[in-house]
Amino acid sequence: KEYLMSYKEIWMERFQALIKYIEENKKLPSRSIESEKYLELWIQTNHKNYKNKTNIHEDEEIRKILSDYFSIY
């Protein structure tokens, strides 16, 4: 399935996985816990790219989603 998805669709799927994780665990993922590491690294990468407006973060819809996320978490 992932091979047929656009980069934006993949990004949205991963973002939804992050939100699900936060809602279920009532916390942000941790780099020190192996099963959470990929989500924590995904957050870091997205924060950096959002700040620099690089890659998918040039898309205004993605920027709005992350802006809302950053204001909450």
Task: Read off the pLDDT of residues 16-28 as tens digits, 9 standing for 90 and up.
Answer: 999 999 999 999 9
Q: What pTM, to 2 d.p., does this model score?
A: 0.83
d(CA 57, CA 59): 5
pLDDT at 1 over 70: no
Q: Based on the number of CB atoms within 10 Å of its own CB, is 52 exposed (0-12), middle (13-18) or buried (19 or more)?
A: exposed
Amino acid 2: pLDDT: 55
**Quick one: what percent of the chain has pLDDT higher than 90?**
82
Amino acid 73: pLDDT: 81
